[in-house]
Structure formats: structure tokens, C-alpha cells
A and B are shown apart, each in its own frame.
Chain A
Amino acid sequence: MPLYTLEAGQVVEGIKNREFSAEEYISQLLGRIEKVEPKVNAFVTLNKEEGLNRARMLDKKIRDGEQSGPLAGVALSIKDNICTKGMKTTCASKMLESYIPAYDATVIKRLMSAGAIIIGKANLDEFAMGSTTEFSRHGPTRNPWDISRVSGGSSGGSAASVAALECTASLGSDTGGSVRCPASFCSVVGLKPTYGLVSRFGLVSYANSLEQIGPVGRTVSDVVSILNVIAGSDENDHTTINSNKPTYSLQERKGFRAGLVMEFTEGADPGVSKMIYNAADTLEKQGCKCEEVSLPSVQYALASYYTIATAEASSNLARYDNIRYGFDMNPEGYEWNSYFAKARSNFGEEAKRRIIVGSYVLSSGYYGKYYLKAHQVRSLLKHEMETLFKRYDVLIGPTMPILPFKIGERIDDPLKMYLVDIDTVVANLTGMPAISVPAGFADGLPVGLQIMADQFAEQTMLDIAYLFEQAAKVQRSPEL
């Protein structure tokens, strides 16, 4: 079996026990990337030389009998909106086409000191705004299971690179489902932590109050290994929760109570909801109790989400005026308003659309009509969820209401595109954790099971995800 198919735990053990070297592992992955990347297009930037160098250094450390970290040799693709010092971070945008950060994101620092190796920067929708990775300056990332279809988004490069065996695991960011959507479409595991569990310092902001960085892996176990390294408060992010660093483990636990969210199954394609009912059966066979539950305020979730996300985005993207960093455009001679407007016209379509919508909802006199209402909906939803979590350990449903669709199919209809986020935005609006686990295939296309839990109840959520994964035995990676 080629090394690039290994799970994170096997990679770490194999390198530590000198069954193979980190250099061999990284070289094999780079070979794999060379082979499949023309079909998938998951990477924006590759970190070949630096990656190999780090591998060699790790091998030397191990030969010298030094301690290696918990992720020693694990090769990660990093969504290209997470800052990596000295390595381009483009956000798939013309506005940052040559931007090289002067600092590492907190998660990058933590992963590096755990021994992980960054193999490259993964493709995304421009500034993480999209659900397909089609809004990238570098072209769409294709779904490894069917390259005529979208990979999901916005962390499409992360999920596709994991599914296509181009890396061990990946980091994505999830603002309205951006880790879980592509995880579902590419049949991998994707987790959005509780808001405040993982530092956002170094994550290029799209919608600050909603997003979290989250791991993507081929197994629940891989996702846990990464979460254990990145979770925990950070003095550089005031919104992280001040508590002891949590450690998650995978335990065989049974007897869970799960609420199957009616609104999610009813709104899904028949092929998708069939798979979700199958998933519920699988869990029942494992001794879980599954009951249908209702989350009535879900009907307002998307309106709330798109109000908050666009409002925050319109302000976050204001800093890209091309004065301090950006692409090459001499400011001399331009009148400042026209320079800003000209430089900023280089945002892509979707980013511009969200900037305008966000500016609209924040306009004078509209705050109470949109932004405040949207926040009240968050409160309402949270209250409904909390009530349900008194009776259920987790809530389950489809991650995506539809199957991966053809590239280009929805790109000209923004609202239709927004509507596919209906099942994922709830976790972002309420700050609660959620995970997408492969549930099987409908018409040969992946379906993801979404498991949501109460705030900071990641352990319970992971236990059920693991239980399901072990029972469902879904095929892992596609032929490419």
C-alpha cells in the first residue's frame, strides 16, 4: 500500500519507528500530487522544497533520538486564507495575489511545533465566500469522485486534497458550512469547533462572529489529532474561551440520544434524505435512540446568516485598498477615490456582491431592520437548540440538502447558491460545534451526515461520529 494512503496516526508511528522516513512520505505525496492535481486543482501554492526540508530535519531529529511531536511528519494542506509566514496567502483573490504574511496564524504555530509539515496552500472561494470553490481566481477545485462536479466550498481545496490522497489532512475555515460542505461533497470528515475553541488569529476574516478554523481528515481519528493541537485559548484572540486546553479522545460509548432534525431531512433531495434515514438506522443498531425533532426557526437561519455574513464581510474587505499590500498598481497621479475604486474593482463577482449587500443592510436606518433582527434570530435559534440539547446528546441530519452538482450549474444564480447552506449555517449562528461524516453514496455521489452538539460538547459529538464511522464503513478514497 502506498504511504500516501496512511492515516495520521500511522504516519506518526511509522516515522517515529523508522519504518519509513518523513522524506519518503513527503516525496510520495508530492508524486501523488503531481499525478492527480491536474484533475483536481486543490492547491494554490505547493511548498515542495520547504516541505522536504522539514521532513529531512524531522528524520535527523528522530535519528538523533530526539522527541518528535504528536503530528510529526503529518502533511497538511492549509486553506489559503490562513496566514503562513513567508508563504503566499492569496485568499484566491487578485487583491492578495502576491501577499506574503509577516506572521504565522496561531494554528500554524501550534501545528508546526507539533511536527506537522505544510505541503501546500489549498484552494477556496475568494475570501471564503462561496459553497463550491468556483469563485476562485485559480479556477474551480474539482470533486475527486466526479471531476465534472463541484468539490463544495469554500474549503474545496482542503476537502478535495484530503479525498484525493494529496495530503494527510487539512485545515479549512467554516463560516457558514465551509468545512462541512466540501467534506460532505468529497466524502471526508470535516469539523467546525465551538466558536471560541480555536484561535482565529491569522485567519483572514470573512465574517468574524460566525467563523472558526476546523480540521478536515479522512477519519474521525485524524480530525481529533489535529483538533487536539489547535484547540485552546489564545492571547492573540479575545474571542477564544479562557479555559484549560481540552484534549479529546475516541471512546467506545453507546446509548446516545439523537434528534433527527425534520426541517433538514424534509428539505433535502430524496436521495440525500434516504441516506440520512439509513444513517439513523445504523446508529439505532448501535444502541442509539433516534427521534425526529423540530427546529422551527431554521426557516429564518439563512436570512440571518446572509445578513450578518455580508455585513461583517463588507467591512472586513474594506482594508484591501492596495496601498499597504496587494498587486502592483502605482498610486501616483490617481485621485484617491478613483484609485481605491479602480483597485477594488479587482475583487471577484461574489465578493463584490456580498460587499454591496453588506453595505446595504448596514446603511443608515437599516440597522434595526436587518442586522439587529439577524442577531435576534441567532438568539432564538440558540434557545431552541439548547432546549433540544436538554433531551438529546446530538442533533443529526444531512450536511448538505443536495448532492454535488455540476460545475457552473448554479454560478449565475446567487440566491439559489446561498440556499444550499441551509443545514450548515445553524451551527455558525449558534456557535455550536458540528461535524460532517461520510454517510455513503446516492447515485454514486457522496452524502454527509451532520452531527451537531451543544457548545463545547465536542467530545460527545466525536464519540457519536466515531461510532457511526466504525459501523457505516463507507468507502474511503475515489479512483483517480
Chain B
Amino acid sequence: MVVTREEVKHLGWLAKLEMSDAELQRYTAQIEEIISYLNMLNTIPLEQVKPIAMKKKFSELRKDAPENFEDAVLGTRYRKDGFVKGPRMV
């Protein structure tokens, strides 16, 4: 087996995705199949191949000039005194 149910559960925790037992069951089987397919990458002799990288010059970077963004940015209605309300931290 390439991918275990426990691994998928851990990935769900890392990615903050709540999954029911049935979902976990289904995803494990599907992800097992997908990863087995991706494992093909490990059969290719690639040692000599350098990945392509996009490059930019220092002079092309954004100039340091501040600008105010005038429109409302945040869409949530859960606000207090300008702050955004989030869930509790413990």
C-alpha cells in the first residue's frame, strides 16, 4: 500500500479539512491510485536535468512608493470595532 488511511487523516489535519469516516475511506483509495500513478516520476533518469526557473532583474522589481487602497477589502460581517472576529485560540 502506498498511502495509508492514517496518512490521509494526517494530511487532512495539515490542510484543515474535516472528513467523515466514509470520506476518509473513499479518499484513501482514490489517493492511493493517484499517488501510484505519480510514482512514475521516480522511474525517470533525471539527474542531469536542471529545472527551469523564471528570473527577474533587481531593477524590474516594484518601486517603494506607498499607495492607499480606498475600497473596502474585507467581506465578512463578523466585525468588532474595525477588527475581524476569528474563532477562539484554545
Contact = CB atoms under 8 A, between A and B. Distances in A.
A323 interface: yes
Contact of A378 (B27, B52, B84): B52
A379 interface: yes
Interface string B64-90: 000001011111111000001111111
Contacts of B22: none
A369 B76 contact: no
Interface in B5-64: 7-8, 11-19, 23, 27, 30-31, 33-35, 37-38, 40-42, 44, 46, 49-52, 54, 56, 60-62
Interface string A244-282: 000000000000000000000000000000000000000
Contact of B89 (A103, A336, A415): A336
Interface hub of B15, B46, B76, B77 (most chain A Cβ within 10 A) = B15
Contacts of A363: 11
A235 B62 contact: yes
Given A300-B41, A332-B85, A373-B41, A359 B74 contact: no
A145 interface: no
Residue with the highest number of chain B CB atoms closer than 10 Å, among A103, A303, A355, A374: A303
Nearest to B61: A238
A379 B50 contact: yes
Chain A CB count within 10 A is highest, among B16, B46, B52, B61, for B16
B90 A335 contact: yes
Nearest to B75: A325
Contact of B46 (A235, A335, A376): A376
A373 B50 CA distance: 10
Interface stretch (A33-41, A94-102, A153-161): A94-102
A373 B46 CA distance: 7
A99 B75 contact: yes
Nearest to B35: A360
Nearest to A383: B49
Contact of B11 (A332, A335, A341, A356): A356
Contacts of B75: 98-100, 324-326
A399 to B, nearest CB: 22
B19 A345 contact: yes
B49 A379 contact: yes
B49 A360 contact: no
B41 A369 contact: yes
A147 B67 CA distance: 50
Contact of B14 (A100, A324, A359, A415): A359
Contacts of A352: 17, 19, 23, 27
B54 to A, nearest CB: 6
B17 A347 contact: yes
Given A103-B71, A324-B84, A373-B42, A242 B60 contact: yes
A356 B17 contact: yes
Contact of B34 (A103, A306, A344, A369): A306
Contact of B40 (A303, A357, A414): A303
Contact of A357 (B23, B34, B74, B85): B34
Contact of A325 (B19, B42, B50, B74): B74
Interface string A352-390: 110111011101000001101111111110100000000
Contacts of A324: 74-76, 84
A323 B86 CA distance: 6
B11 A337 contact: no
B16 A344 contact: yes
Contacts of A300: 40-41, 44
Contacts of A314: 15
A342 B78 CA distance: 17
Nearest to A314: B15
A27 interface: no
A83 to B, nearest CB: 12
B8 A356 contact: yes
Contacts of A24: none
A380 B41 contact: no
A356 B77 contact: no
Nearest to A304: B41
Contact of B87 (A98, A332, A355, A369): A332
A307 interface: yes
A382 B18 contact: no
Given A360-B7, A377-B44, A239 B54 contact: yes
A292 interface: no
A124 B14 CA distance: 27
Interface of B: 3, 7-8, 11-19, 23, 27, 30-31, 33-35, 37-38, 40-42, 44, 46, 49-52, 54, 56, 60-62, 69, 71-78, 84-90
26 contacts: A102-B69, A303-B37, A306-B34, A306-B37, A307-B41, A318-B15, A321-B16, A330-B78, A332-B78, A333-B87, A336-B88, A340-B16, A344-B17, A344-B18, A352-B23, A355-B15, A356-B11, A356-B17, A357-B34, A360-B7, A361-B38, A370-B38, A375-B52, A378-B51, A379-B49, A415-B33
6 smallest A-B Cβ distances: which pairs?
A325-B75, A375-B51, A339-B87, A341-B18, A334-B87, A373-B41
